[in-house]
Amino acid sequence: MAFDYDKWLRPGKLPHIWCPGCGHGIVMKGLIRAMDTLKLKKEETAIVSGIGCASRLPGYIDCCTLHTAHGRAAAFATGVKMAKPEMNVILVGGDGDGTAIGGNHFIHACRRNINMTYIIMNNYIYGMTGGQFSPCTPTGHKASTTPYGNPDPGFDIAKLAIGAGATFVARGTAFHANQIDKLIAEAIQHKGFSVVEILDDCPTTYGRRNKYKSVIEMMNRLKDVAVPVKAAEKMTAEQLQGKILTGVLYKEEKPEYIEEYAKVIERAKAAK
């Protein structure tokens, strides 16, 4: 039976602005399925984004949404969560928005371990602003600002999040559409800061500069490089060369920020 996406979509907003074959639509569908599975209430769910292609996502979903300044989704979302801790706060954004312009907000939200979910759609490029290289563009790959190949090594968002202190880190791809909603649902249920990186395709500004002939070729590349964490345990280092691990990469329980902050308020009141 067809899944009824319409009940989560704002009427009259489709078709969306994303290019033909862009994986952001697949991620949005995954997010909608996850929210539906968890039976989240629209008035108790806030989706916060910064600027960019991926950050246009909240405009289409019918719940509490906030479209903020470039890279500042984490800062605004922290405000929402502190003021209304009962809200389910979900952040969405791209790799440029999350790890370059919003890099500081991202790592400090991870460090605080505030109970929110950050979905980063990593398409290796700044799509909306014209295909400039992002911190996730792999070495040697081309962008509008690196026409002879990018000399920088790319960020590993999952490792960055783990290093910064996020307590749930998962990775999926736009090809593995079935897995996206499960990862997001698990991340939303996790108490603490959870990061879900979804590897995505940008056929318009990344694909055509890097000799991908079609969207299908980009999708098949995602299929080829992705290795589930469990399968990777049985593989040798040589076999894992050039592969990207997917699934739940890291999970731990740590004190959550809102609860810790409430304790500070209690202590301050008692100190009078």
Residue 26 interacting with other proteins (CB under 8 A): yes
Q: Are 183 and 170 in contact (CB under 8 A)?
A: yes
Residue 143 interacting with other proteins (CB under 8 A): no
Closer residue to other proteins in complex, CB, 95/200: 200
Query: Which residues between 174 and 213 bind other proteins (CB under 8 A)?
Result: 177-178
Closer residue to other proteins in complex, CB, 1/83: 1
What DSSP state is assigned to residue 98? I
Residue 219 interacting with other proteins (CB under 8 A): yes
∠ CA 100-48-134 to the nearest 5 degrees? 20
Distance CA(47)–CA(59), nearest Å, equals 9
Residue 22 interacting with other proteins (CB under 8 A): yes
Distance CA(4)–CA(175), nearest Å, equals 21
The tally of CA atoms less than 13 A away on the side-chain side of residue 217 is 9
Among 29, 108, 191, 208, binds other proteins (CB under 8 A): 29
Closer residue to other proteins in complex, CB, 41/213: 213
Residue carrying the six token digits 């980009």: 218
Distance CA(65)–CA(43), nearest Å, equals 10
Residue 270 interacting with other proteins (CB under 8 A): no
Number of residues that bind other proteins (CB under 8 A): 24
Q: Which residues bind other proteins (CB under 8 A)?
A: 1-3, 5, 9, 14-16, 18-26, 29, 177-178, 214-216, 219
